[in-house]
A = this chain, B = another copy of it.
């Protein structure tokens, strides 16, 4: 690894001269500047990032903590964050909490030791259940900015980026009404999450606002530890009147289609189904699932921009709450 010292030695000038020349300071004569730059290029000199960080007290890296990398939503947001961060001159350190409170807290603590300039994160499921946010407030209290996305909490005072979860489910239910469906089921595997609750609320709002009223028996909180398809088959058997399905998570929609098929109910002739998932997963079911799709790219981009703005402004005032719209993908399931 080649350093300023090394360059200065080879050229018989001082370290500070080299530093200034390389940084384009007008103090240095053109002639020496040229010599220095040439040698630096020739030796492929790269400034030591660590030394720069120590000096400037900023690392130009962002800590990203996501609950689950196998979830396409988080994977896509992560990719988008990385793209935008790169554009803005930042690296990212990624930690996966695996929905665990402890892992989330530990990751936060480790990275808060000067390794990153700020955090972008979605709360783990366990954190949202416990409603314990001390670890995050401590970071915030240390003047390290945090941007929360998707999995957020009212109890936390910071910047946030979320989808329009509630409205998107309302719109989906409306779409089912438009197809003449009346007995609509709401399936969820994410009842414990903030977004899960919002989506459930959206369903209740839509049903209450309709003439048909809300039947709580048609809201199914699936047990993730058990076979989803079995649970759905049982539900559809016990509730044969169901002619429409809307789901809050990224897998129930596909499984619902399979379950209905096994009961000889065809989609969309007998039952219409709208899921909450990505285009790719929606394409794996037959017929193709109509899905509520998050703008992952938008969420990632906005989160990164918001955080970098916050890092640069150094102020902790006027926290923003950005809402990114969902879209309904094309499909054959309604």
A47 surroundings in chain B (CB, below 8 A): 113
Residues of B within 8 Å of A115, CB to CB, are: 49-50, 91
Chain A positions 56-79 with a Cβ under 8 Å from a chain B Cβ: 59, 61, 69-70, 72, 75-76, 78-79
Q: Which of A34-42, A94-102, A123-131, A302-310 contacts B (4 or more CB under 8 A)?
A: A94-102
Interface string of A74-111 (1 = CB under 8 A from B): 01101100100000000111111010000000000011
Question: Which A residues fall within an 8 A CB radius of B?
Answer: 1, 46-51, 53-54, 59, 61, 69-70, 72, 75-76, 78-79, 82, 91-96, 98, 110-115, 142, 254-255, 258, 261, 280-281, 284-286
22 example contacts (A-B, Cβ-Cβ < 8 A) are as follows: A1-B142, A46-B112, A46-B113, A48-B114, A49-B113, A50-B50, A51-B54, A51-B114, A69-B69, A69-B75, A69-B76, A70-B75, A75-B75, A79-B96, A82-B94, A91-B110, A93-B93, A94-B94, A254-B284, A261-B286, A284-B284, A284-B285
Contacts of A79 in B (CB 8 A): 69-70, 96, 98
Q: Please name all residues of chain B whose beta carbon is closer than 8 Å to the beta carbon of A112 when the two chains form the complex.
A: 46
Please indicate the chain B residues that have their CB under 8 angstroms from the CB of A114 in the complex.
1, 46, 48-51
B-side contacts of A70, CB under 8 Å: 72, 75-76, 79, 280
Query: In the complex, which residue of chain B has the Cβ closest to the Cβ of A259?
Result: B286
**Which residues of B are found within 8 Å of A93, using beta-carbon distances?**
61, 91-94
**Given A50-B53, A53-B50: A95 in contact with B76 (beta carbons within 8 A):** no
Q: A76: which B residues are within 8 A, CB to CB?
A: 69-70
Specify which chain B residues have a CB less than 8 angstroms from the CB of A50 in the assembled complex: 50, 53-54, 59, 114-115
C-alpha gap A332/B75 in the complex (Å):
30
Q: How far is the CB of A63 from chain B (nearest CB, A)?
A: 9
Most buried by B among A1, A46, A50: A50
Quick check: A82 and B95 within 8 Å, CB to CB?
A: yes
Residue pair B82, A96 in contact (C-beta under 8 Å): yes
Residue on B with the closest CB to A69? B75
Return chain B residues, CB-CB under 8 Å to A92.
93-94
Closest to A61 in B: B93
A250 → chain B closest CB, angstroms? 11
- Sort A-B residue pairs by CB-CB distance and give the 4 closest, nearest first: A94-B94, A46-B113, A69-B75, A50-B53
Complexed CA–CA distance, A328 and B78 (Å): 31
Q: Which residue of B lies closest to A229 (CB)?
A: B283
